[in-house]
Structure 1
Amino acid sequence: LAPRAIVTDAGSTKGDVVAAARKALGARISQFVPAHPIAGREQHGPEAALADLYEGKKVVITALPENAAQDVETVAAAWRACGAVIHRLSPPEHDAVFASVSHLPHVLAFALVDDIAAKPHADTLFQYAASGFRDFTRIAASSPEMWRDITLANRDALLTEVDAYLVQLQSIREMIANSDGPALEQVYASARDARQQWAAAIEAAERKNG
């Protein structure tokens, strides 16, 4: 590795990548600047490429303590040249955040579609699945091999999120079993409000960066 060379990546997990980089690069670890573009699609392979994929999208740089500020800025500038907006997190922060808002949703989508597909009347169920099912399960069309690796690479953080979701799901099950309409409505209303606030924030950011 040339002394002035900078190595970076575009992976969905950071803890395992940083550990591998430390093992491979040793004293040259300062030359590795980890990054993650938040611009995934369910399609994969060269035929799914988009020239403007990163325009207006976030890229999280998870700089290491050993990184020189100039090298971090070089990587940031490369992503900005693709139209991306730079954000910064530590590797552990990154993996905890994306276990919640990316990795868990993929696990849920894969699990739901697999569960329905295994039912004896799956053909009938899929025949009547409409836009809500399509929207929720879109990401289940993603690469199984890639998501197998992401799931295991971020195992600890993802297990924390799966356990928390199981608690929430059990709570909702009890509300349904008890015919507790007010409690269900409260959960649904809280989720709707949070979803609307998130969507508004995303739209505002896109207008700002557009």
Structure 2
Amino acid sequence: RQTERVGEVVGGGRDPAHLQKAVELGILDRYETDPARAVAGADMVVLAVPLGAMEGLMRNIAPVLGPDTVLTDVGSAKGSVVKAAQAVFGELPPGFVPGHPIAGTEKSGVTAAFPELYRERRVILTPLPTSAQAAVRKVRAMWEACGAHVVEMGVEHHDEVLAATSHLPHMLAYALVDTLARMDDSQEIFDFAAGGFRDFTRIASSDPDMWHDICLANHDALVKMLEAFSDDLRLLADAVRRADSGFLKETFTRAKQARDAFCDK
């Protein structure tokens, strides 16, 4: 909207109060609580719902999508989105271009939105053999107008990469907080939690419904990463138990070098 690349922005959702707040904040021009009415006549439709709701939403809007309508999404697991589209459309429409912005915070809802959210962030598009090049260009242009860097990759590769870099870290944060919260002295533990704990566990404040769906949608790739990490964690526990100074120092040094190299990019 700031770059004046859109005409009318119509929102669709279940909560009129949240949608009205989006209008008041200038994010939407108007809204509809009926998804089909919201997308009728749209040039571009962006689906931003939990992965478990994708198929139902697609089924609702499919009858009113125009032949030239571009359909994309922001789901964190692309394989499940493609399967949902196949279940609804059968033959995938040429305007369907799956996507995933690698940006966001642990906050959710319209009040957590801000114009700079996607600036200098990456957006992954996973075009399909059925995706029209014109549709891919439009989705790319939309994200670039938001200031994002757009890359393309295959659906399966996307899900493997995100299982490692996004889904696994969320599982670790949720598991750590849950483990500590169930301890008898959990209140004292949290009272003395410092900045490192807050930094590491920030993402455990993310929407549980959304992450529930992501786990189920990308379970194959996520299980592989959880098992690999569990193996390494057992090695680390053994090293601590044996007071293996060399193993600990080598692990910590290697991890620091890898993270420093990543952050310096």
TM-score, normalised by the number of residues in structure 2: 0.74
1:152 corresponding residue in structure 2? 216
Q: Runs of 5+ in structure 2 lacking a partner?
A: 1-64
Alignment of 1:113-132 (within 5 A): 113-132=177-196
Deviations 1:60-118 (A, max 9, x none): 00010111222111110011111111011111010000000100000000000000011
Aligned to 1:61: 125
**Rounded Cα–Cα distance in structure 1 between residues aligned with 2:252 and 2:103:** 28
C-alpha displacement of 1:54: 0.9
Distance 1:68 1:52 in 2: 29
Structure 1: give runs of 5+ residues left out of the alignment: 202-210
State whether structure 2 residue 67 is matched by structure 1 residue 3: yes
- The whole-number CA distance in structure 2 between the counterparts of 1:2 and 1:126 is 53
Match status 1:103 vs 2:103 = no
What SS does the corresponding residue of 2:151 show, helix, strand or coil? strand
**What is the correspondence of 1:125-204 to structure 2 with a 5 Å cutoff?**
125-201=189-265
Q: Distance in 1 between the 2:151 and 2:124 partners? A: 5
Corresponding residue for 1:75?
139
After superposing the two structures, state which structure 1 stretch, 16-25 or 161-170, moved more.
16-25
CA deviation map 1:179-208 (0-9, x unaligned): 10011100000000000000001xxxxxxx
What is the CA-CA distance between 1:40 and the residue it aligns to? Answer: 1.6
Return 22-31 or 146-155, whichever deviates more. Answer: 22-31
Corresponding residue SS for 2:100? strand
Alignment-derived partner of residue 112 in structure 2? 48
Structure 1 residue aligned with 2:16: none
TM-score (ref. length: structure 1): 0.93
Give percent identity, aligned residues only. 43
Comparing both structures, which one devotes a greater share of its residues to helix?
A: 1
Query: What does residue range 14-25 of structure 1 map to in structure 2 within 5 Å?
Result: 14-25=78-89
Equivalent residues, number: 201
SS in structure 1 at match of 2:101 = strand
Letter in 1 for 2:121: K
SS in 2 for 1:30: coil
Amino acid at match of 2:233: L
Deviation beyond 4 Å, 4+ runs, structure 1: none
Q: Distance in 2 between matches of 1:69 and 1:45?
A: 32
Highest relative contact order (Cα 8 Å, sep 6+), 1 or 2? Answer: 1
Q: Aligned partners of 1:14, 1:157: CA distance in 2, in Å?
A: 12
Residue aligning to 1:31: 95
1:90 is aligned, of 154, 159, 175, to 154
Measure, in 2, the Cα distance between the counterparts of 1:69 and 1:46: 32
